[in-house]
Structure 1
Amino acid sequence: MPTPAVVPLPASIARRGAPFPVTAETAIAGDADAAAHLRTLLAARTGAAPGSATGSGSTGTIALTIAPGGAPESYRLTADATAVTVTGADAAGLFYGIQTLGQLLTKTTGTTGTPAGWEIPAVEIDDAPRFAYRGVMLDVARHFHGVDTVKAFIDRAASLKFNALHLHLTDDQGWRLELRSRPELTAKASSTSVGGDPGGFFTQDDYREIIAYAAARHLIVVPEIDLPGHTHAISLAYPELSEEPVISDQVREIIRRYGGELPVHGRPFESMAVGFSSLKIHDEATSAFLADVLGELAELTPGPYLHLGGDECLGTSPEDFAAFMQRVTTLVAGLGKTPITWHEAGAATDLAPTTVGQYWGFVSPVGGMDEKARAFVRGGAQLILSPADAIYLDMKFDADSPLGLTWARGVTTAQRAYEWDPARVIEGVGDAGILGVEAPLWTETVRDLGDIDALVFPRVAAAAEAGWSPAPGSAGRTWESFRARVGALGPLWTSLGIGFTPLPEIDWATD
């Protein structure tokens, strides 16, 4: 009997017997917040309102409870012909159990082959995540995406048991967060995007709204201020803080290939080139700027992490880069936050000892990227794995796609996105050295939610499984199992308004 269509794959799942019928008379009892989430999910999936009863239903009860004592974010789900019980070790675990329940909901057929109703297969599931941090990243700097789009992205991430939203808030093309200590950043550096498209920014109320919406779905928000490179937008607001652009052959080639103008200090930049910008590392005014920006960001952000970038700093000398990253990670640690940097910062010495490294190299590392990543673990910290040739969601899924890029070893198929193991990327770094997995979406070619859905789904499900599920080789943790389970989720995703790309390597179910 095939594994039920649950993604990410649970730690343990077994069939039991006759299914549980879901009707308007089915009662939902227990935790009020969880019950509200389940009713919303059931209504979206069925187009009706099963589970609207509140007492003992004539067709059984779905009981939702929290029972502390298990592993964080874990849950247990049991279903038979008479009842369904979802028990979370905490509120997050119960929420994830509800997402599993929504995936299990299946349309039945009558004797004539016509749809007859809905049911939940009889199963017994014990589930807990492999890694504590399971993130998605949305770049709102290359193209700005407003609050409603970010909320929709959060809903999509939460449905696959991700628990962190990394917002890439600043880059050469724009600054996207209002800071009262530095108002010129949004006044002068937020209006443009790649290709000359409109820009935008989040007010502080917008940012708080996003944080609250994410928290209600058990995600933290991890804001990124990319430093000391990717900072050309700062030159529009505070030109005295920025160095002149370093125009390399790489910059010229990217602009030749994708269009746009060479960067000019103090003028908006709308192309895709990277690695040319830098702050003035040794200027006292830069130190004051960092104290203002990161101090205010720490006050606005209740989550434990602040991301400081540190990637592609080709306009900064190695010595200046090392000194800068030591200074800025120490500053953030002093604010009571855990710094995160891209793996390049592993080349620096004396980073704040809690600094987490985020690896964006390939599944098979090249150019010494793995050694830089290993440095974080040698220092007693951990890594987030984001291999670009597996789970960078902005890579093309098809050579003919108008969306996406191909620099990470060409087209990234769903199978390639799936067939890797976080503990086998950096030699010597196993599960204990890994904080988690994150799937980034850079938005050079992404203008709206439709573009997001087309690039992200179904491949984001592979990243979800890498972060949550047991390691490859465990029962059911195979490409063939995954493609069957993901394909069966097509009707659910459609009912939730997710415009996924039906990649031909997956057999997609229909109602």
Structure 2
Amino acid sequence: MHKVKVLLGTVLLFLTLLLTGQPEAQEPIVKLSGGVMVDVARRYYSLNSLKSIIDTVSENKGDFVHLHLTDDQNYGLESQFLNQTASNAIYNQDDQSYTNPNTNRKFLSYGQLAELKSYAGSKGIRLIPEIDTPAHTGGLKALLPYAEPAVTSQFKWVSWDEDRQLDLDAATTQEAVRQLYMELVRELPGLEYIHIGGDEISGGLIQGQSFISHVNQLCDYLAGQGIKTQIWNDSLSRQLLPSLNRNVEIAYWGYLPHRNPDLATASDLSDQDFKLLNYNGYYLAFVPKPSEKLQSDALFAANDILKTWNLSQFHMDTGDSINSLKNVIGAAFSIWSEESAGLTDEEIFSAMGSPIRALLTVINQENIKRNENTTTTTTESMTEATTTITTEPTTQSTTESTTTTTTESTTETTTTVTTESTTKSTTEGTTETTTPIPPMPQPTTSPETSTATHATTTNPSTSKDGNKLSKSKRILPSTGETIGVLSVAGLALFLFVGLTYYRHKKN
């Protein structure tokens, strides 16, 4: 009879393993993306200079380069729809530039953008082009006198800002704008993201509603092409958020309630499960201009990022911070070019190297932390499950005790191997990716006089500790899983006990 008991104990142990030995379910690890935004509308950067920025991002384990191609000063890319093409432009061999003979402004051809996209892809970097609408469209308007009359007539402008903001209430305007993005998709196949602008729109809720409708239509169109949509944050009202497509990713650069009292904060957006990219307009923005302090200002910005800023800070140096990083998917350092006349591309990008490396260091460290937290949680879960099994009371007889000891020994060995293997993997991964940037000397520039940022602000506040991701909650098997396991275990128990009883009776 003791054989039957041993068999029964083994089956019960197997059942316990199935029910309690499952590692806890893990939420997917969201890898943060880090990158750089370059304002190529207000300044023409040569192809080689833009490739150097791609190199910098790649060398520091970044993920993307965002090109702000259009603004009030210039429509900085080729457009057949607007009659700005490489074939009717003046080409300069020295800086590889195309100049529109009508506006005397330089722009990037589709061939150059395709070359940049291919080069970025070879470095593991994605290129994100931005055509900014409906505001900041002065550069677009400058091209309309030279476009086909049928095209020009489609664009309508709001009465209170006729030089720089399109009227999205006009159906012809929405269709004309859509043609711009359709052309971009057609000429640059394989894009993963397109940024459609959307910053600093005036007109209150009326234009806001038209804007949301416009964004949703573009998002649906781009999604159909396999492309994700990004927009700026500062024209999104709380009241209108429920209407916005949740697949739109938000590049959050600042909170401007004086322009819109109902403006959504980063917390508002995160709470409604929008995915956020941190483009903080103080810590993560720079306006290069001729100055003896260019290098020291850049170093100041880099140190500020490393010592004061964290991923939860979205607005300036104080104010809009969020309580959870669950919907934060990345961050970018922005280079705005409106005051860069008098500087060479090399001077600008040489100075910008320090803050770019600083940001990507923060991003990489956060990714390592997330991986470590997940690995630790998995190891603890496996250990907990094994411990539950080994502490089951199984001391019925000498034979049963021997069986239990063997099972405990096997389980303990399995736990040790699993833990060591996991720890080794984590350690190796950390060693591979935690190379810090070289120490940066402290600049003499004070926060009050620094020109390092895109927005004017006061002395930065004391840094806050970064948010840590909590461990995943243990999730028990579902009812269906439990019933299935019990059924299999019950059948096995019935067969084994019956067979053993039959043999015992026969003997």
The TM-score, its normalising length taken from structure 1, stands at 0.55
The within-5 A match list for 1:443-462 is: 443-447=337-341, 448-462=344-358
Which of 260, 270, 285 is 1:377 aligned to?
Answer: 270
Q: Give unpaired runs (5+ residues) of structure 1.
A: 1-70, 72-128, 248-264, 266-275, 476-483, 491-501, 506-511
Pair 1:160-2:47 in alignment? no
What residue is the counterpart of 1:335 in the other structure?
222
Pair 1:439-2:330 in alignment? no
The within-5 A match list for 1:14-413 is: 131-184=31-84, 199-238=105-144, 240=153, 241-243=155-157, 246=160, 277-299=164-186, 300-314=188-202, 316-336=203-223, 337-347=227-237, 348-349=240-241, 350-361=243-254, 371-394=264-287, 401=293, 413=301
Give the direction of change, closer, same or farther, for the CA distance of 1:399–1:209 in structure 2 (3 Å limit): closer
* CA distance in 1 between partners of 2:32 and 2:367 (Å): 14
Give the conservation status (yes or no) of the 8 Å contact 2:84–2:143.
yes
Per the TM alignment, residue 375 of structure 1 is displaced from its structure 2 partner at its CA by 3.8
Give the direction of change, closer, same or farther, for the CA distance of 1:394–1:301 in structure 2 (3 Å limit): farther
Give the conservation status (yes or no) of the 8 Å contact 2:303–2:440.
no
* CA distance in 1 between partners of 2:82 and 2:259 (Å): 39
More helix by share: 2
**Deviations 1:16-54 (Å, cap 9, x if unpaired)?**
xxxxxxxxxxxxxxxxxxxxxxxxxxxxxxxxxxxxxxx
Give the direction of change, closer, same or farther, for the CA distance of 1:369–1:488 in structure 2 (3 Å limit): farther
Give the direction of change, closer, same or farther, for the CA distance of 1:462–1:198 in structure 2 (3 Å limit): farther
* CA distance in 2 between partners of 1:404 and 1:285 (Å): 49
* CA distance in 1 between partners of 2:269 and 2:184 (Å): 24
Per the TM alignment, residue 286 of structure 1 is displaced from its structure 2 partner at its CA by 1.0
Q: Give the 3-state SS of the residue equivalent to 2:366 in structure 1.
A: coil
* CA distance in 2 between partners of 1:229 and 1:404 (Å): 34
Give the direction of change, closer, same or farther, for the CA distance of 1:185–1:233 in structure 2 (3 Å limit): farther
Pair 1:416-2:307 in alignment? no
**Deviations 1:173-218 (Å, cap 9, x if unpaired)?**
1111213333248879x958xxxx9631121111110000000011
Q: What code does the residue aligned with 2:195 have? A: H
Q: What code does the residue aligned with 2:185 have? A: A
Q: What code does the residue aligned with 2:270 have? A: V
Identity of aligned residues (%): 19
Give the conservation status (yes or no) of the 8 Å contact 1:163–1:219.
yes
* CA distance in 2 between partners of 1:405 and 1:342 (Å): 26
Give the direction of change, closer, same or farther, for the CA distance of 1:414–1:372 in structure 2 (3 Å limit): same
Q: Give the 3-state SS of the residue equivalent to 1:446 in structure 2.
A: coil
Q: What code does the residue aligned with 1:209 have? A: E
* CA distance in 2 between partners of 1:375 and 1:199 (Å): 40
Give the conservation status (yes or no) of the 8 Å contact 1:185–1:237.
no
Give the direction of change, closer, same or farther, for the CA distance of 1:352–1:412 in structure 2 (3 Å limit): farther
Paired residue total = 323
Give the direction of change, closer, same or farther, for the CA distance of 1:224–1:369 in structure 2 (3 Å limit): farther
Give the direction of change, closer, same or farther, for the CA distance of 1:388–1:399 in structure 2 (3 Å limit): farther
* CA distance in 2 between partners of 1:465 and 1:368 (Å): 35
Higher relative contact order (CA 8 A, sep 6+): 2
* CA distance in 2 between partners of 1:404 and 1:144 (Å): 24
**Deviations 1:324-381 (Å, cap 9, x if unpaired)?**
233233323322222111112431441222011111127xx99879833334333332
Per the TM alignment, residue 449 of structure 1 is displaced from its structure 2 partner at its CA by 1.9
* CA distance in 2 between partners of 1:150 and 1:212 (Å): 13
Q: Give the 3-state SS of the residue equivalent to 1:277 in structure 2.
A: coil
Q: Give the 3-state SS of the residue equivalent to 2:195 in structure 1.
A: strand
Give the conservation status (yes or no) of the 8 Å contact 1:191–1:200.
yes
The within-5 A match list for 1:462-477 is: 462-470=358-366
Q: What code does the residue aligned with 1:379 have? A: Q
The TM-score, its normalising length taken from structure 2, stands at 0.55
Give the conservation status (yes or no) of the 8 Å contact 2:36–2:333.
yes
Per the TM alignment, residue 295 of structure 1 is displaced from its structure 2 partner at its CA by 1.4
Give the conservation status (yes or no) of the 8 Å contact 2:40–2:337.
yes
* CA distance in 1 between partners of 2:99 and 2:183 (Å): 22
Q: Give the 3-state SS of the residue equivalent to 1:439 in structure 2.
A: strand
Give the direction of change, closer, same or farther, for the CA distance of 1:281–1:356 in structure 2 (3 Å limit): same
More strand by share: 1
Q: Based on CA coordinates, which of the two structures has the bigger radius of gyration?
A: 2
